[in-house]
Amino acid sequence: MKITKRVLTTLNSCYAVNSMQINGIPNILLASESEAPCLAWAGPGYDASRVVWEGPGGVMSIVPIPGTDGEFLAVQKFFSMDLLEVAKVVHVRPLSNGQFEVTDILQLPYIHRIDLLTVNGRHYFIGCTLSTHKESLADWSHPGQLWVGEYTGPGPLAIRLLKDGLTKNHGYSRLVKDGAMSGLVTCEEGAFEVTPPAVPSGEWSVAQFMDWPISDISTIDIDGDGELEFATIESFHGSYFRIYKRIAGKFVMIFEHPEVTEFYHVVVGATLAGRPVFIGGCRRGKQQLFYVAPSSNNPLRLEAVVIDEGVGPSNACVVHQDGRDIIAVANRETNEAALYFVE
């Protein structure tokens, strides 16, 4: 496949990225983890940006709200470790004049990853906190938590504690399997699948399926056998990018990226040009953005293909368009908001 790069702009500490429809037009949003704006580029050309907000930054997550035309939730003010207790969730709504209305809906210290999972037309909020208190950068004596609630609109969000004791609660990805949504939450204790209730009066379920330290995770059926494979970063901001296959009920590692260096940060299961892959990235070492796919010479062997190097990506998402795919990437270490066009 042919991949070409376009740098959209320089955005200091570029960190969070996602795509959504706004007023019926595809948009790609990128935001900063420092004091810098959130910007939106409208498709199909993605030629010009507009400001979603000037500040604050500290943006860890951007999540579109299903059934709306451009409304979304975002984490703001997740700054340096001495300021994490002011982190919050905001509701963002596009206005007819091209601007955006930003409203606080939840104040939750150390809120890091969020999502909305839809079950039978109802939207359920998941919020993952990195910790509950920190005396210093190295202090992990107060584990993170998992908070949940039903999302019913842009007003104040009511949540409750679902699970405690999640040390270095960093990773999250959405799993859609057989049409059902659940969330994958990762921490030092392992990986957990979190499933919303099937009916309004039902209970959430939390099921652990890995029991070793994991920073981040994603899934896709990369070999086409009908079963999901799991790509992980190990451990917290870890040195290893690995892929596992479940064989006879146990997880067997079938791939490890050849570079062992700290701060792997991107792991996304997606399709590129119709081909299932895992997209990965690291903020240290060679600072590569890459994808992993079955080798063309031997489909039973996985290989990594470098997309870019020396960029240090923090997060990525894939946008599918007619005739091409786009990897939207926050290249944190070079302050780049970038698109990679796959044809």
pLDDT in tens, 165-224: 999 999 999 999 988 999 999 999 999 999 999 998 899 999 999 999 999 999 999 999
Q: pLDDT tier at 302 (50, 70, 90 boundaries)?
A: very high
Q: pLDDT tier at 82 (50, 70, 90 boundaries)?
A: low
CA nearest 60: which of 89, 86, 94, 37?
Answer: 89
CA dist 329 and 119 (Å) reads 29
Question: What DSSP character marks residue 38?
Answer: E
What are the tens digits of pLDDT across the range 271-281?
Answer: 999 999 999 99
End-to-end distance of the chain based on CA atoms, in angstroms? Answer: 6
Q: Could you give the C-alpha distances from 310 to 84, 189, 257, 300, 306, in angstroms and in order?
A: 29, 32, 17, 30, 11
Query: Which pTM does this prediction carry?
Result: 0.95
Q: pLDDT tier at 299 (50, 70, 90 boundaries)?
A: confident
What's residue 18's pLDDT?
98
CA dist 27 and 21 (Å) reads 6
Lowest mean pLDDT among 22-26, 274-278, 297-301: 297-301
Side chain identity, residue 156: P
What are the tens digits of pLDDT across the range 115-142?
Answer: 999 999 999 999 999 999 988 888 999 9
Residues 57, 33: contact at Cβ < 8 Å?
yes
